[in-house]
Structure 1
Amino acid sequence: MNTAQPETIQRLDYTVPSFLVDHIDLTFDLAPSATSVSATTRFKHNPASDSREIVLNGQDLELVKIVMNGRTLEKPDYALDHGELRIPNAPDDVTLVIDTLVRPDKNTSLMGLYISNGNFFTQCEAEGFRKITYYPDRPDVMASYTVTLFADKKKYPVLLSNGNLVDQGDLPKGRHFAKWEDPFKKPSYLFALVAGNLVCQEETFRLADGRDVLLQVWVEDGNLDKTPHAMESLKHSIAWDESRFGLELDLDRFMIVAVSDFNMGAMENKGLNIFNTRYVLANPRIATDQDYANIESVVGHEYFHNWTGDRVTCRDWFQLSLKEGLTVFRDQEFSADRTGSDSGRAVKRIEDVRTLRQVQFPEDAGPMAHPVRPDSYQEINNFYTVTIYEKGAEVVRMYQTLLGRDGFKKGMDLYFKRHDGNAVTCADFLAAMADANGRDLSQFELWYSQAGTPRVKLESDYDSLNRTLSLTLSQSCPPTPGQTEKKPFLIPIAIGLLDAHGKEIPVRVKGSDNASDTCVLELTQEKQTFTLVDVPEKPVISALRNFSAPVILEFEQTDEELLHLLANDTDSFNRWEAGQRLAMRRLLELTHAVRENRPLTLDKPFIDAFRTVLTNTSLDPALRELALTLPSETIIAEKMDEIDPRAIHTARQFMRKTLANALEKEWQKAYKNNLTDGEYRPIPQDAGKRALKNLALSYLLLCDSTDTCHMAIDQYRQANNMTDRLAALTSLVHSGCMQKLPEVKELLEHFYKEYENEPLVIDKWFSLQSTSPTTSIESIRELMEHPAFTFRNPNRARSLIFGFCHNNMAQFHAEDGSGYEFWAKYLLELDRINPQVAARLARCMDQYKRYVPSLRQPAERALKQVSKQELSRDTREIINKTLSA
């Protein structure tokens, strides 16, 4: 750690590697306190480079020996400084043998080779391989790998690495070995090994071409009953990629391994995916409906990386969204298709856009704003962001919107034909899409190079005499760090029209012979007018259908028009959106009223609109649940120039309580009508009913009646699944029932004792308390003293510390600044253990300069206090950018 300013790496400074690697042979003698690593690497000079210097990266390594072409090197044959080992004047062909020692049991960063629950695991993306051996640790150096693992057989009976198992056997003194070969060239970040006492569920799966492959899900003993859903998700993923994109599994086996200590969600190492346990382990006793959906999505995501990330990878880390944005889009489409219905696809789309607005839009408006393809970074770990992933996925989705599903598939086919086995750039992907469809997409490149969320203003003018509708669209994008001037984007705006009876009016643009219910207008200039013809009456406009572009739409519509869309729009996303806009108007007004000490009221037409949605049984329950969930406090804050977190919380709680009391009978009926009897099934239909029922319960607990608390207590006691049990307990704690009824505290204690041997459930126990508006900072500190809490496990730290700082607006933003002091203290403690996780915690202060003055000053004081301390590169970059924004 250091207090110096980290070096800034620029995208335009990219140079090709001076030497390429043909093959690397790795040998590990595994021991927790001192693992010996021997790497034999064959280098060839890169004819595209004028340099004759071999540059190898290394971090936290003990160098034992270097042998080049049979000769042991001594200084000054090489230089070792600042994490780089340099060998000057190397010949064209070089074989290097490098022996190192690493200390896995001391590695709390969870990058490189580390120990978790007595087992060995690796995490090498982005720059973890350099903590294993000296190597050109960059994604554009691709090589084939042979890996041999030696270990004590009793302690580590399972030895895994990438590719195919080619040899294994016993050795003297109770030891054994396993040898793995990966036939496909890969960059170092995709290397993986696992060694330990594990068990697996395995199945043989037949691919579309008739070939049988072995699928394995490896877990710690005692968790085998929690693997079937992950296995089924893997099989569905393989089948979907074959049918949707014609992409097959290319290895003889595919392995998933679950580990409890993991910085990320999962990692797509070639053929050996390593997962956070939260995205593998599930059964009705410990997993919610959302857990089941997340597991299927993440398993799909990592499997889809086999082609979009492994077979074709990124040239440098600036191109990260090339693989991540594309693969998020693929897993979103997979999850949507898996719902099996149009309403299911709409639910998935709404959920994805809510995430974008709640997390990515604030990032675009804050000090860490960066393009989908960044221009610079100081620590690459900080750029695994929602901009790279979720906004990157929206950029990929726009290709499909512009080119059509078939055109997108043609572009994907050409992309793989051109680049299979190579490390490429976002520009290469764009070129494949353009060339396959004969389109000029040069303007579309701005989505990669310009940061910020574009704003699109829509104005309409109906001409009844000529039966035309003029739509004037104008776009702008606010300044972001390093970018003050923005050029116009190519923005696809999907438009639909409804008549007075709620029926679709065919949309036809002047000059076109085609008419359809939805038309995609391509906005390419700062301001453009589109004329729609044959419009028989003044319509209600349904704009930006299915959220056709990641923009903020500014379009003035009356409450009556929004109510019309809420009741009739055939585009389910915009039907939901109309309700959100109606609610947001009132939430913003209520927030201003709180700040100005004015009386708080909620108008009857809005309450009636809410009632109409709640009682509309023709709507899918999952869609109703989404429509009846108010915009989050974070999304409300994004609509305000000056953020007053406690006023926002007060306003939103007032609206929820008012809707609860005004619609108590309707909530009661919705609760009873959506009970799911019998055996628990994590299918979309049942999950939607549970979601609506549990939303109704959360509203009922806000009614001025204690009977509803007993209703939730009964649900907790009678539940046969984690979804209903956790929802009941969360509603009881968050509503304040714990202060009214002693039974609630007893239930909280019962929940812990019932699941104390289930770490993922104990994470939920910490989280439901840390996010409760009734939980004070003092209570959080008490929870940190609980024997089950530890900073060293990222999931546990996220459940308590992150839950409070990121998701408890009412308590974290205390007027006395105690929340910020808490954040500063534990950020520093976490940074000493795991910088990557600490840097994520630092992000909760991104927006501090927009806080009201009474909060801005203590927030800045806490930030400056942190900035004066010794920090990791990861956290230093975040703090500096936040203060200097």
Structure 2
Amino acid sequence: MTASAVLLKDYRAPAFLIDQVELRFELGETGTRVSSRLQLRRQDSAIDALHLHGEQLELLGLTLDDKPLPAHRYQVTADTLTLFDPPAQFTLGVETLIHPELNTALEGLYKSSGNFCTQCEPEGFRKITYYLDRPDVMARFTTTVVAERERYPMLLSNGNPVERGELADGRHWVRWEDPFPKPSYLFALVAGDLGCVRDQFVTRSGRTVALEIYTEHDKVDQCAHAMASLKKAMRWDEERFGLEYDLDIYMIVAVSDFNMGAMENKGLNVFNTKFVLARPDTATDADFLGIESVIAHEYFHNWTGNRVTCRDWFQLSLKEGLTVFRDQEFSADMNSAAVARIDDVRNLRALQFPQDAGPLAHPVRPESYIEINNFYTVTVYEKGAEVVRMYQTLLGREGFRKGMDLYFQRHDGQAVTCEDFCAAMADANGRDLSQFMRWYRQAGTPTLKARGEYDAAQRRYTLHLAQSCPPTPEAADKEPFLIPVAVGLLDRDGSELPLRLSDETAATGARVLELTQAEQSFVFEDVPAAPVPSLLRGFSAPVKLVCDYSDEELLFLAAHDSDTFNRWEAAQQLGVRAVLQLLAVRAEGHAWSLPSTLAELFARLLADDSTDPALLEQMLTLPSEAYLAEQMAVIDVDGLFAAREFLRKGLALHHRAAFNALVERLAVHGAYSLDGEAIGRRALRNRCLDYLASLESALVHTMLSRQLESADNMTEQLAAITLIAHGEHPARLAALESFYTRWQREALVVDKWFTLQATSKRADTLKHVCTLLQHPAFNLRNPNKVRALVGAFCNNNAVRFHAADGSGYAFLVERIVELDPLNPQIAARLLGALTRWRQYDAGRQALMRGALERILDLRGLSPDVFEIASKALAG
């Protein structure tokens, strides 16, 4: 196929605007009639035609100012409705017929599991009716939903319910009015027979807001945590940013068939069940924390995305990166700030850094796209959040708040750009941030090189910093970024040294240096002895830090740094060095032995009873295979897996007694608790069990069986069944079958069951995954099931997916062939596993390239998959 790109430089303001929209939906089992009345006005007098977007629509009627429009006044194509020479201001009536019951792509209005639901971001509204389906056209919506009462007692849409009634034929209707202008991507409709959990929230100004969470009737007992999370998010946003909710009602609907995690439609958020439903026996600690974060994220969009939205889709990070940052800050305040930051950075490094280094690298604000669905990426979201965090690092929390206040003051009710956000930050703080905009325009992960130099005679420490950024598809040469580098200097006792730069008169504590040139040096005076630098504290910029620390200095930082992120980072770097050292030793033909530095690190950590258990668990976790792969010019899949497993087993043997003692000491007695200390204790205990499980001893097998049988919570159950399934436990198959039998009616637990099997490193995993495709619980049309089984295998099981015979690649091609006609979005996301083919050895390169070529040869290939495959091959 051929597909043309949409370019940022081609943006033009809309020639027409829509002020008011009246929608009427008559929902049916074999078709739905949609009537719309659009109040339009011309904005550009030079344009003599109105082009409306529309896809997969059957046009039933068209009126202009309530009069039928003659056929010669309009033209319909596969994706547009064009009106010729419309007046300067008019009302357009459009009636269409659509088929939600046949919509497997889950875009626009679709029917699934007996309910009607919408997903309109980014361009799904055009599959509902003809419209100016672009984010810079903001209108006030009134929506009337009509359906059979018995089948669909709940009729929901955006805004506030203003009227309802009954019809003689057994149908009923509800009219919703949204008083705030919004783009069409924020439209939502849900109709079904759903249970509801109700609560309320009193805002700081004294208004009472009704809160409602809808889900299947037998799942309402799993909504309490989501409701509590929503109320915490509403209060936090008032206290932290002064932002109050603006409607009379806030609704969440949890659906099982959904392409995304959740969607922030104004007043009616549609969520994947994964991010709403939770009970201690069905959801892990990570699930509870994830729900809290995503509930907050979508609520925070009410201001950063809804009240102020994007001018065009190139500005997507304006709402997503900003809102991810806000939910990260919320999570840090609600839970362990140290662990929250570590999790953020681990995710960034495992997912976004590889994207920045591959053929799909793109700036936080892309310059072009073929299919906008493909730019809902970790670069837009997670790197975008790091860019927003850098504003706060540079300006301070108070300065950042001033910038946010000015942003809302200037742009409430508008569709704006990344430049507008930057200007608000700059103007509110009297700063020139023009160089900072390079973070939006330039792709790639910068490398930050640091070198320290101490002059004992002058009591002077000089920190030399240099930045560079590798070429990426959009540009070979990069201009220097403005990089905030948070630093501290430690004396040999681990105490923080006061810092005074050469042009300063008074010393202060740790500070943020601003690197603006390719190379700069910062001179600190009155330094009594050679310090150990603590660099990039809190991961103050999304860069790769290169500093020639000795092993002893890393051990020192892991033990003494007051910055908890850098304590963890020092432990991670020792783990990276240990793995790479083993690979070098093997290349020289020598036998492996446990690196003494890593053994010493673990001895210190395991003897430490003063560190927060949640942080200690993070420090005891070896670097992931994904992060380790980023340290290699050519990824050695088998070598990385073998070296990491050697270290896991070697550390378990070396510290068996300490691991066993911690397992016993951390055993939880009493009822399940979700407080931070309990979460940390469970995490640390399960980490110790993970090491001990590598020994495959009868004692550990017994410990795992007991935990699986006696645990009153899914966190401990899932840890046990995963270690049983991944190892040589004698009851492995029976345990897997028993686990499924127990939880087969809980779809989200079944998803975990699929994933733990798909991520097993056992040699027969692919064969087993292929068998699971035929399991009654698997459904190719359900995105959660596809992600849980196929996605987990291809993205989270490197050693088996990248099997040297190419069987993993062939498996993925088969799934793309099946999925692309059903759901192109999900198919395209799966294809990401093949995009970095150039980073592997010659044999795997040829196999991966061949898989991509086979995909491109498919007839009727969607733009979603075509864009990913073609860019991967060209990169």
Q: TM-score, normalised by structure 2?
A: 0.99
- Cα deviations by residue, 1:431-475 (Å, 9 ceiling, x for unpaired): 000000000000000000000001111111101111111111111
User: Residue 791 of structure 2 is aligned with which of 796, 802, 807?
Assistant: 802
User: Residue 92 of structure 1 is aligned with which of 88, 106, 110?
Assistant: 88
177-186 vs 851-860, greater mean Cα deviation? 851-860
Residues 435 and 70 (structure 1 numbering): CA distance in 2 closer, same or farther, change over 3 Å? same
Structure 2 partner of 1:28:
25
662-671 vs 67-76, greater mean Cα deviation? 67-76
Structure 2 partner of 1:212:
208
Coordinate RMSD, CA, aligned: 1.0
SS at match of 1:42: strand
Shift of 1:857: 1.1
Aligned 1:396-407 pairs, distance under 5 A: 396-407=388-399
Structure 1 partner of 2:220:
224
Structure 1 partner of 2:154:
158
Aligned partner letter, 1:845: L
Q: Does 1:817 align with 2:809?
A: no
C-alpha separation in 1, matches of 2:715 and 2:140: 45
Aligned partner letter, 1:620: D
User: Residue 832 of structure 2 is aligned with which of 808, 826, 843?
Assistant: 843
Residues 31 and 592 (structure 1 numbering): CA distance in 2 closer, same or farther, change over 3 Å? farther
- Cα deviations by residue, 1:32-72 (Å, 9 ceiling, x for unpaired): 3200000110001114x631321110111111111112332
Aligned partner letter, 2:254: A
Aligned partner letter, 2:112: S
2:443–2:474: 8 Å Cα contact kept in structure 1?
Answer: no
Shift of 1:82: 4.2
Q: Does 1:133 align with 2:151?
A: no
1:371–1:451: 8 Å Cα contact kept in structure 2?
Answer: yes
Structure 1 partner of 2:266:
270
SS at match of 2:648: helix
C-alpha separation in 1, matches of 2:575 and 2:511: 27
Aligned partner letter, 2:532: V
C-alpha separation in 2, matches of 1:354 and 1:424: 31
- Cα deviations by residue, 1:567-623 (Å, 9 ceiling, x for unpaired): 100000000000101110111122344456542222223202112112201000000
C-alpha separation in 2, matches of 1:704 and 1:836: 41
C-alpha separation in 2, matches of 1:681 and 1:530: 48
C-alpha separation in 1, matches of 2:457 and 2:375: 54
513-522 vs 271-280, greater mean Cα deviation? 513-522
Aligned partner letter, 1:369: A
Shift of 1:707: 1.3
C-alpha separation in 2, matches of 1:330 and 1:26: 33
SS at match of 1:85: strand
Q: Does 1:765 align with 2:753?
A: yes
Structure 1 partner of 2:665:
673
Structure 2 partner of 1:748:
736
User: Residue 569 of structure 1 is aligned with which of 558, 561, 571?
Assistant: 561
SS at match of 2:413: coil
Shift of 1:331: 0.2
Shift of 1:756: 0.5
Structure 2 partner of 1:432:
424
Q: Does 1:257 align with 2:253?
A: yes
Structure 1 partner of 2:865:
875
C-alpha separation in 2, matches of 1:27 and 1:65: 14
C-alpha separation in 1, matches of 2:84 and 2:167: 40
C-alpha separation in 2, matches of 1:78 and 1:542: 67
Aligned partner letter, 2:752: K
Aligned partner letter, 1:615: A
Q: Does 1:114 align with 2:118?
A: no
1:594–1:600: 8 Å Cα contact kept in structure 2?
Answer: yes
SS at match of 2:649: helix
C-alpha separation in 2, matches of 1:674 and 1:412: 43
Shift of 1:220: 0.9
466-475 vs 355-364, greater mean Cα deviation? 466-475
1:322–1:425: 8 Å Cα contact kept in structure 2?
Answer: yes
Q: Does 1:5 align with 2:2?
A: yes
Shift of 1:514: 4.4
Q: Does 1:682 align with 2:678?
A: no
Structure 1 partner of 2:820:
831
- Contiguous gaps of at least 5 residues in structure 2: none
C-alpha separation in 2, matches of 1:43 and 1:388: 33
- Cα deviations by residue, 1:463-501 (Å, 9 ceiling, x for unpaired): 111111111111110000021110000000011111111
Aligned 1:526-545 pairs, distance under 5 A: 526-545=518-537
Q: Does 1:580 align with 2:572?
A: yes
Q: Does 1:16 align with 2:23?
A: no
SS at match of 1:15: coil
Q: Does 1:44 align with 2:55?
A: no
SS at match of 2:690: helix
SS at match of 1:184: coil
Q: Does 1:412 align with 2:404?
A: yes
1:506–1:516: 8 Å Cα contact kept in structure 2?
Answer: yes
- Contiguous gaps of at least 5 residues in structure 1: none
- Cα deviations by residue, 1:292-329 (Å, 9 ceiling, x for unpaired): 00000000000000000000000000000000000000
C-alpha separation in 1, matches of 2:277 and 2:785: 16
- Cα deviations by residue, 1:825-857 (Å, 9 ceiling, x for unpaired): 111111111000110001011211110112111
Structure 2 partner of 1:77:
73
Shift of 1:75: 3.2
- Identity of paired residues, percent? 52
Structure 2 partner of 1:331:
327
Q: Structure 1 residue runs of 4+, over 6 Å off? A: none
C-alpha separation in 2, matches of 1:827 and 1:630: 33
812-821 vs 261-270, greater mean Cα deviation? 812-821
C-alpha separation in 2, matches of 1:126 and 1:764: 29
Q: Does 1:390 align with 2:390?
A: no
1:591–1:650: 8 Å Cα contact kept in structure 2?
Answer: no
743-752 vs 181-190, greater mean Cα deviation? 743-752
Structure 2 partner of 1:513:
505
C-alpha separation in 2, matches of 1:555 and 1:207: 49
C-alpha separation in 2, matches of 1:193 and 1:516: 55
Structure 2 partner of 1:737:
728
User: Residue 144 of structure 1 is aligned with which of 126, 140, 144?
Assistant: 140
- Cα deviations by residue, 1:121-178 (Å, 9 ceiling, x for unpaired): 0000000000000000000000000000110000000000000000012211211000
SS at match of 1:223: helix
- Cα deviations by residue, 1:389-409 (Å, 9 ceiling, x for unpaired): 000000000000000000000
2:56–2:78: 8 Å Cα contact kept in structure 1?
Answer: no
Aligned 1:584-603 pairs, distance under 5 A: 584-594=576-586, 597-603=589-595
C-alpha separation in 2, matches of 1:594 and 1:785: 41
Structure 1 partner of 2:341:
349
Structure 2 partner of 1:103:
99
C-alpha separation in 2, matches of 1:653 and 1:196: 49
1:32–1:115: 8 Å Cα contact kept in structure 2?
Answer: no
Aligned residues: 873
C-alpha separation in 2, matches of 1:719 and 1:615: 27
Structure 2 partner of 1:780:
769
Shift of 1:800: 0.4
Structure 2 partner of 1:368:
360
Q: TM-score, normalised by structure 1?
A: 0.98
Aligned partner letter, 1:440: D
Residues 704 and 728 (structure 1 numbering): CA distance in 2 closer, same or farther, change over 3 Å? closer
C-alpha separation in 2, matches of 1:435 and 1:168: 48
Q: Does 1:463 align with 2:463?
A: no
Shift of 1:705: 2.0
Shift of 1:629: 0.6
- Cα deviations by residue, 1:739-787 (Å, 9 ceiling, x for unpaired): xx0x221111111011100000000000000001014211111111111
Aligned partner letter, 1:764: K
